């Protein structure tokens, strides 16, 4: 069994599940083109890069406000999970539920049932409050899922 970070878990769920319905919209999450990176640990989540990701210069914009949440400030690399989550606007704007099999964007009314009848672990969810700063909440929650 492998320990992965929340963003790596979200990426895996999104790539397994195919197109996702978010209200009336259907969203597809294609994977990014990654490059070889020099750091073993990700700047943002601290997870293993396994030698692939993107540079922080490419992935972290000047307007990124969650820099205080970075787990490894000495790194200049982002893992595939963090690069994927930062590169997908829909992941920042919609609530999400990630399981080992798929990613979903439940509406607010659906979250009541999810909270009362949660899926089998491991799972991760984030509820959008204002359509922003979802990633910060994900990064500041439990660091690793099994």
The tally of domains found in the chain comes to 1
Going by C-beta distance under 8 Å and a sequence separation of 6 or more, which residues neighbour residue 115? none
Phi-psi group of 78: left, alpha or beta (phi > 0 → left; psi -120 to 50 → alpha; rest → beta)? beta
Q: In terms of C-beta density within 10 A (0-12 exposed, 13-18 middle, 19 or more buried), how is residue 73 classed? A: exposed
Predicted local confidence at residue 145, as pLDDT: 45
Rounded to whole angstroms, how far apart are CA atoms 56 and 75? 8
pTM: 0.86
Range of the domain at 110: 4-145
Longest dimension (CA), the chain: 44
> Which positions of the chain have pLDDT values less than 50?
143-146
Exposure b/e, 76-102, CB count within 10 A at least 16 = b: ebbbbbbbbbbbbebbbbbbbbbbeeb
Please compute Rg for the chain using Cα positions.
Answer: 15
pLDDT of amino acid 140: 52
Per-residue pLDDT at 146: 43
pLDDT at 31: 95
């Amino acid at each position: 069994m492998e320990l992965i970070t929340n963003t790596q878990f979200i990426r895996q769920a999104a790539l397994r599940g195919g197109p996702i319905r978010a209200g009336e919209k259907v969203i597809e999450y294609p994977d990014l083109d990654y490059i070889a990176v020099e750091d073993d640990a990700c700047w943002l989540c601290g997870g293993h890069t396994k030698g692939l990701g993107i540079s922080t210069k490419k992935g972290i914009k000047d307007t990124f406000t969650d820099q205080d949440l970075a787990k490894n400030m000495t790194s200049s690399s982002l893992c595939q999970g963090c690069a994927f989550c930062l590169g997908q606007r829909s992941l920042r704007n919609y609530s999400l539920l990630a399981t080992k099999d798929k990613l979903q964007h439940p509406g607010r009314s659906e979250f009541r049932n999810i909270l009362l009848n949660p899926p089998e672990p491991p799972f991760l969810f984030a509820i959008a409050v204002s359509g922003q700063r979802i990633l910060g909440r994900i990064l500041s929650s439990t660091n690793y899922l099994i």
